[in-house]
Amino acid sequence: MVFKQPTFFGEPYEPESGADKDAALEEAVANALAVAGGIDAADVNVTLDDGGVVLTGLVATAAEIERATAVARAIAGTRPVRNDIKIA
């Protein structure tokens, strides 16, 4: 699955402030998890902590945990991803 970066009228979306960039990254990761195959992300939360993406919540299998990490890394780019998701 390929994830497209958000655009605004065909131009790359660049939020103006740091808080906007953080919120945009949280939203992008959450949206990617929602549409990604191989994971039920209904109970997964995405936050930013010290510049890194933090995943928390519950999923059914260990494979879903690994898939969530892979999806988040694809969107987060060079930011670190910490996965604190647990198996229900």
For 85, the 3-state DSSP assignment is strand
pLDDT at 77: 82
pLDDT at 14: 61
pLDDT at 24: 87
Compute the distance between CA of residue 85 and CA of residue 34 in angstroms, rounded to an integer. 15
Residue with tokens 């933090």: 54
- Cα 78 to Cα 41, 73, 74, 87: the distances in Å are 22, 8, 9, 27
pLDDT at 23: 86
pLDDT at 54: 96
Enter the pTM of the model: 0.77
All domains of the chain in start order, with CATH: 24-87 (3.30.1340)
Instruction: Give pLDDT < 70 ranges for the chain.
Output: 1-8, 10-19
Residue 30 exposure: Cα atoms within 13 Å on the Cβ side: 15
